[in-house]
Amino acid sequence: MPYINEEELIARLRDIKTRDLAFSLLIDQFQERVYWHVRKMLINPDDSDDATQNTFIQVWRNLDKFREESKLFTWIYRIATNEALALIRRRKNNLRMDDMGDVLAGYVEQPGNFTGNEIEKKLFKALVRLPEKQKLVFQMKYFEDMKYEEISEVLGTSVGALKASYHHAVKKLEKYLLQP
């Protein structure tokens, strides 16, 4: 399906006659980016599929609530982030907090869950051990090349706090990566 700009897509989503087709276009335009965003958080492909599907279910259910105070993409990313975090929290309820990093790091080792080289694998093992906020900020800034202002809209945090989180994440990752 063809790419259409955000304003046109929103207009079509608001029109009851074109809403279904517009939603298909929305999924085509954003599904892959949403999937890889949550995949970096969750590592596990099945969990990432679930979070992506739940994201678009929430988008559909809440289209009427989108007030256009942010970009459509930013709003969808916020929903996706919340879906992934909710899945992580459900997992944590079944584990001690300290064990969650080990579980996610274990997903990196499972066949089919991670296709990167050894240095990328080590980076992801380090990344999953970061506190949630630092991990999210690092992922969005480093992997997705988002600006701090965009991350601020997604996470609802000040730019200054995001810069501090990114700095702390980088220092922790460097420390972990330099270990033998």
pLDDT at 30 over 90: yes
Place of tokens 């965003």: 37
Q: What is the pLDDT of residue 103?
A: 52
Per-residue pLDDT tens for 111-164?
555 556 677 778 878 888 888 889 999 999 998 899 999 999 999 999 999 999
Place of tokens 């678009």: 56
Place of tokens 């969750």: 42
pTM: 0.72
pLDDT at 14 over 60: yes
Q: Which fold has domain 1-94?
A: Rna Polymerase Sigma Factor; Chain: A (1.10.1740)
Confidence of residue 96 (pLDDT cuts 50, 70, 90): very low
Domain 130-180 belongs in CATH node 3.20.20.70: no
d(CA 14, CA 64): 8
| Averaged confidence pLDDT in the chain | 86
> For the chain, what are the domain ranges?
1-94, 130-180
d(CA 39, CA 170): 20
